[in-house]
Amino acid sequence: MAIQLTADDAKLSLNAHVASKGAEIHAKYGPNLGWKELSLLLEDRTLVRYPCKIEFNAAPLKPGEFAHPVPNGDLPEDGFTLYIHPLFMMQLPQVPLLALYQLVVVNYGDFASSDDALTFGATALGLTDDEYYARLCEVIDPLCGCGIE
């Protein structure tokens, strides 16, 4: 007899995988993931599936967005540019907090939800989802209020 998986089963499976990858980041790059560690993480294909570079540029961002990954070509293998609002250029210690939330899109595409992004970032930093959400809101609030995008 074949087992039928539901959409909810797939969501739970993805969230568990996201948490697992976040835990690997935490173990490899430490609880104090800073700018240097983020740079190393972006080169680590075991944890960031496709090439990804950061550019501080608000032009590709929608109003209220603090960051967003944009594909560099038609294939994920072409890599991504993670655009981060220039406001954060002078706040480099906060950039990993922002980048982790967006890296689920690089790794999992549109299948990843905002819950997956919270789980990924929180686990990578050794926080609960609620703690990560609160820290993220504190950082991005001057830009857009906390309707995380």
pLDDT digits (tens, 9 = 90+) for 79-91: 999 999 999 999 9
Specify the pLDDT at position 14: 85
Residue 134 tokens, joined: 């609160």
In terms of Cα–Cα distance, which of 104, 133, 142 is closest to 15? 104
- Asked if pLDDT for residue 121 goes beyond 90, the answer is yes
- Asked if pLDDT for residue 67 goes beyond 60, the answer is yes
Specify the pLDDT at position 27: 97
Specify the pLDDT at position 63: 86
Q: Are 120 and 127 in contact (CB under 8 A)?
A: no
Q: For residue 67, give every residue at least 6 positions away whose Cβ sits within 8 Å of its Cβ, in sequence order, or none.
A: 61, 82, 83, 84, 85, 88, 98, 99, 101, 102
Q: What is the dihedral of CA 65, 28, 89, 92, to 10 degrees?
A: 120
Task: Specify the DSSP class assigned to residue 5.
Answer: P
Specify the pLDDT at position 142: 78
Residue 119, number of CB atoms within 10 A of its CB: 25
